[in-house]
Amino acid sequence: MTHWYNRFSLSNSKNRHLLLWLAGALFSQALFIKFTSEVFEDEKIQNVDKAILHFIADNFRRPFLNGIAVDITALGSPVVLSILFIIVMGVLIIRKDSYGGFYFFTVVSGGVLWIEILKNIVSRPRPEIISHLVDVQGLSYPSGHSLGSTVVYLAIGLLLCRQMESRKSIFLILLSAALIISLICFSRLYLGVHYPSDVLSGVLFGLSWTLAVTAFFELRSSKKKYP
């Protein structure tokens, strides 16, 4: 009886982290499902999408910012994310961190697969509300840049947090990951290639997937692996 109590008690640090990951994953997924079910039927959401894009184009677009936006959006591109994936996997292999390697591979490869599945299920065309500042192809919902960057940068942040003892360091790492993801998401709107709802849905699903995988690996581990 004591064994089972200790295993599932919230006084156990591992169990608290597991509960946090599961709660975050379920909450994000619930929001994604509800949002996706309403985004094409609720005219208010569609009007907000259009209004936000017009607001950004009218108030933020400047010639000198266009190049910066392109550079920022590149941080969430398949090429850059693939390079980051290879680098991180290489470091984990060199460090003989098989646990971290399996975790990162599962998060990223699953994220890539989900992007293709969700885009083809929803089949939403790109917005034609404001001019596109870059050439794009493919479907719009959810944003592959926002989902992919959420998965990759959050997973990297969580891997780095494993090495930290200071709460301040953990906070700064996760804040940095959130800032990078936010900038990439905004760049997609600035460039006119996604609706705001595309970007939000990508973040929600990416967050849900990453936290769900983290919870699974936390459950499988015998010691603390993540902050």
**What does the buried/exposed string (b/e) look like for 201-211 if buried means 16 or more CB atoms within 10 Å of the residue's CB?**
bbbbbbbbbbb
pLDDT digits (tens, 9 = 90+) for 24-61: 999 999 999 988 988 878 788 889 999 999 999 999 99
pLDDT digits (tens, 9 = 90+) for 158-215: 999 988 888 899 999 999 999 999 999 999 999 999 999 999 999 999 999 999 999 9
Residue 5 has pLDDT above 60, yes or no: no
pLDDT digits (tens, 9 = 90+) for 103-133: 999 999 999 999 999 999 998 999 999 999 9
Distance CA 148, CA 208 (A): 12
Domain positions in the chain = 13-220
Phi then psi for residue 135, to 5 deg, are -80, 130
Radius of gyration of the chain (CA): 19
pLDDT for 9: 42
State the residue for tokens 């705001």.
Answer: 196
The packing angle between helices 63-74 and 167-190, to 10°, is: 120
pLDDT digits (tens, 9 = 90+) for 139-152: 999 999 999 999 99
pTM over 0.95: no
DSSP secondary structure string for all residues of the chain: -HHHHHHH-TTSHHHHHHHHHHHHHHHHHHHHHHHHHHHTT-HHHHHHHHHHHHHHHHHT--HHHHHHHHHHHHTTSHHHHHHHHHHHHHHHHHTT-HHHHHHHHHHHHHHHHHHHHHHHHH-PPPP-SS--SS---S--SS-HHHHHHHHHHHHHHHHHHTT---HHHHHHHHHHHHHHHHHHHHHHHHTT-S-HHHHHHHHHHHHHHHHHHHHHHHHH-SS----
8 A C-beta contact, residue 82 and residue 191: no
